Amino acid sequence: MSDKHLTADELDFYIEKELDDRARAGIERHLSDCAPCRGRLARDQRMNRALQTLPRQDPPRDLAARIGSAVEGARGRAAEGVCRDRARPGARR
Amino acid sequence: MPPMAPTDEALLIQYKAGDGRAFRTLVERYTAPIYNLAFRFLRDSMEAENVTQETFLRVVSALERMRLDVPFKPYLFQVAVNLCRDLARKEHPVLFSDLNSAVRRADGAEMDEASEAIEDGAAPLWEQVQEEELGSQLSAAIDTLPLIYQAVITLRYVEEFSYEEIAQTLGLPLNTVRTHLRRAKNRLRLKLEQEPNPVPSQGFVRIQTAERGAR
């Protein structure tokens, strides 16, 4: 086992699965022998799990429907604009 | 087995082929995530609603000239982030600088508050609290972070973006995204250790309202 403890970055790379197989195996070897680093790993994993389940701010229930209607309205107006342009005297047909 | 939901890109192709309902499906899919992100930045439900609606209106009007091989989700969120940024710039230019830049000390070096110390004593208080309480402490701690860190944390853990998607959304190099995420988490850990009940920073809009009221 290495005398040095794992750095915060090494633990993070490990949790985020950012390591190749060799580096991962090295970290796991250290962890198997080092209780303080295992404790830090457990702490960081707990924070990651808590981040993944953060409370969300939900929108009003009808927001998606209102936006859908606004988008269709804008689309309709754009289409009417095209028709008007086409009907305008001198406009290319 | 239920049929697989169509991908964003398939819905865009349908929409461009004249099926108006296809875009409505995208609106239903992404209204809540966009609103959640906008609310995190703006801390104001009305502003968050406006940004969410404006995001879809901008995207739908850009669709005519948009390439269909560009991943839709990062593009959509990029529009939302830019709208929040524009609003922030208008409402509070000093705080807006936060969203664009990494946190730097006066000497120009980036702050790195990595906690490398190995604690031998008792576990910090936050490690002993229940999951639900930890969630609310963490949420309050995130509110105190610089906006760029709030953005990467929200995109990564709430919206489950890949690092590549975050980089596309925020217009940052991939390694910068990695660094921001690590530093954001280090800061959160430090905050939880030092201050179990942090006071959240004020949102842009709320600050402006308070300033207006003071005049």
The Cα–Cα gap between B182 and B180 comes to 6
Residues of A in contact with B31 (CB under 8 A): 59, 63-64, 67
The verdict on a CB contact (< 8 Å) between B56 and A54 is: no
CA B176: distance to chain centroid? 15
Q: Residue type for B185, please?
A: K
Distances (CA, A) of B177 to B6, B32, B161: 29, 24, 11
Residues of B in contact with A40 (CB under 8 A): 118
The Cα–Cα gap between B89 and B100 comes to 11
Residue B199 or residue A23, greater confidence: A23
Residue B26 tokens, joined: 């995208």
Q: Considering only the beta carbons, identify the residue of B56, B114, B153 that sits closest to A9.
A: B114
- Per-residue pLDDT of A31-76, as tens digits, reads 999 999 999 999 889 999 999 988 888 999 999 999 999 998 887 7
pLDDT at B89 over 60: yes
Name the residue among B24, B26, B44 with its Cα closest to residue B35. B44
Residue B130 or residue B32, greater confidence: B32
Residue B83 tokens, joined: 């709208």
Quote the pTM value: 0.75
The Cα–Cα gap between B47 and A16 comes to 34
Lowest mean pLDDT among B3-7, B90-94, B111-115, B176-180: B111-115
pLDDT at A85 over 70: no
The Cα–Cα gap between B37 and B40 comes to 5
pLDDT at B209 over 50: no
SS3 B106: coil
- Across the range B32-61, mean pLDDT stands at 94
Q: Residue type for A77, please?
A: R
